Amino acid sequence: MNPSKLCLVFLLSTPLLPQTPVECVRVVSKSIDRQVRLPGELLPYLSVPIYARVPGFVDRVEVDRGSVVKKGQVLATLVAPETEAQIAEATSKGQAIQLQRAEAAAKLSAAQSTYDRLKAASQTPGVVAGNDLVVAEKNVEAAQALVSAYDGSVKAAEASVQSLKALEKYLTITAPFDGIITDRAVHPGTLAGPNSGTGGSPLLKLEQLNRLRLTVAVPEAQVGGIVKNARVPFTLPAYPGETFHGMVRRITHALEPKTRTMAVELDVANPNLRLASGMYAEVQWPVRKERPALLVPPASIATTTERTFVIRIKNDIAEWVPVSRGAAAGDLVEVYGPLQVGDLIARRGTDELREGTRVKVNPPTH
């Protein structure tokens, strides 16, 4: 018999491989906007500890905790007798230098007059010796130098007085901005200021609370969805059942290495002062993605000790496709991997359906 005929007969007589029936679904795509709950903390928009610039005794404290103050308002006054004495001493010293300068100016005028007369007389030969004229000229130059030196001393004395008076202004402590006094640590009679023995503690603490900063640590996985000027809701344990909102204003654009989070600040309006600095908030942080998500049923994802995958059916052949599981979206789950919208996958993922197995789609899909 012809060998080619024997080969044909063998092929025709070999039964086809059996097909495993598999129920299948399609990979779908959908834009998902969801929220994750992140902790946040409310902080004052502006906060400053107020210290005494110069040493002195507290004379009056015009405010207390909870006082609402305006920019420039007097908060406290100090007295410093030694500063007043220093100003009086510097003023007296300046006046003495002024008198010395006046005497030097009078001597300069006399020396100049003598030199002018000698110079005029020297025009007649033999009346004035040449050496006398030179001596008179040098006397004028010395007197001018002395007057110039006193001028410098006068300016230095005036600068010293002005500096002491400028320090004296710091004895009156005023508010640098509108806000609320949240802490007070001094009373009349307290010695305050540098080297006062108070340990560098502030006299008062001023905070701006009609606007607050809500700081949120956004995990690295959600950083890509940060949108500046987005309006974000949050809740507070102090007001159960009530929702507040803040606007995303400041993004650090840097991850904290230890926590792998990025600090984001939201501005929160607080005109009625219901909210307080230090409150902890639960922020409903929006998670947005630039591309639509690929979604599959949770049962389609199979997990072994080696991999996580779905079974794609292509040309009636089972193919294991590695994927990563994302967040749930209703009755579906987001997946990441080399899949495309419309891919046919097994409804139930299992490692019993080996890769390369011939399958029969049941029921048929269109």
Confidence (pLDDT) at 2: 40
Fold match, 17-31+292-361 / 34-44+208-287? no
Q: What are the residue ranges in the chain where pLDDT is below 70?
A: 1-18, 83-85, 126-130, 132-133, 164, 166, 195-200, 288-290, 363-366
The CA-to-CA distance between both ends of the chain, in Å, stands at: 48
Confidence (pLDDT) at 7: 32
Domain ranges in the chain are 17-31+292-361, 34-44+208-287, 48-74+174-204, 82-169
CB 75 within 8 A of CB 60: no
Torsion of CA 238, 240, 243, 249, to 10 degrees: 30
CA distance 326 to 336: 7
Confidence (pLDDT) at 254: 92
Size of the chain in residues: 366
The class of domain 48-74+174-204 in CATH terms is mainly beta
Confidence (pLDDT) at 67: 94
CA distance 229 to 309: 39
Type of residue numbered 232:
V
Structure tokens at 248: 């995303």
Confidence (pLDDT) at 232: 92
Confidence (pLDDT) at 62: 93
Distances (CA, A) of 3 to 7, 9, 14, 15, 166: 6, 10, 17, 21, 117
Rg of the chain over CA atoms, in angstroms?
45
Confidence (pLDDT) at 321: 93
CB 71 within 8 A of CB 176: yes
Architecture of domain 34-44+208-287: Beta Barrel (2.40)
pTM of the model: 0.60
Structure tokens at 291: 């591309």
Q: What is the CATH T-level fold of the domain 17-31+292-361, as seen in this structure?
A: 2.40.420
Confidence (pLDDT) at 221: 81
